[in-house]
Chains A and B, each alone.
Chain A
Amino acid sequence: AQSVTQPDIHITVSEGASLELRCNYSYGATPYLFWYVQSPGQGLQLLLKYFSGDTLVQGIKGFEAEFKRSQSSFNLRKPSVHWSDAAEYFCAVVLLSGGYNKLIFGAGTRLAVHP
């Protein structure tokens, strides 16, 4: 069965430091991959997505992610974190053959940013 693993439950970084959030997926074919962000009390906002093509994708708010098929990973990165980036981040995968019918989410990584 398809699954998404986010190994880090909590991450704390200093403002201005670089960030990498890990995501691994288990799926037989090439998946559609997403990163969403959820600020406290807010809904889920799409940061970026990978469908095909260039394996390095750029998203909003200065985030990027790299799809590595050999490692079944889709890690999220940001070169310099801002205090407003403190939130929960979810990696998700969707079935390719069935189209966009169902997102499978990871457990999330909660990011705290120190001033």
Chain B
Amino acid sequence: EPEVTQTPSHQVTQMGQEVILRCVPISNHLYFYWYRQILGQKVEFLVSFYNNEISEKSEIFDDQFSVERPDGSNFTLKIRSTKLEDSAMYFCASGENKVTEAFFGQGTRLTVV
């Protein structure tokens, strides 16, 4: 069964460092998303991406964040200068079209120290 895969599963980084979280969406999907879940809190929408551009982003997704689809398979989330409060589980998701459900990856746990 096709699935969304995310790497790494866990990343530890020092405050101020850049980090790139990687995702391989399901191959025929066209809509891509990043969500995050701070420990003990609800899952929050970060950004949606379609046709090589951001279609919607939340207030969390400030200038420190960027997304990219560098080739036909990967979808990345970059945090330019990490802060302690960026520590969270980051989930990638993909969907075939706008109205079907999205499929989530297993998540990357980011720890900023």
Contacts and interface: CB of A to CB of B under 8 A. Distances in A.
Interface string B68-106: 000000000000000000000001010101111111111
A55 interface: no
A99 B101 contact: no
Kindly state the interface size class of chain A when it binds its partner: 20 to 34
A34 B101 contact: yes
Contact of B106 (A32, A43, A103): A43
A101 B55 contact: yes
A107 B42 contact: yes
A103 B58 CA distance: 11
B42 A105 contact: yes
Interface stretch (A19-27, A45-53, A78-86): A45-53
A43 B98 contact: no
Interface string B41-82: 111110010000001101000000000000000000000000
A101 B56 contact: yes
A99 B31 CA distance: 11
Give the 3 A-B residue pairs with the shortest CB-CB distance, closest first: A99-B98, A43-B106, A44-B104
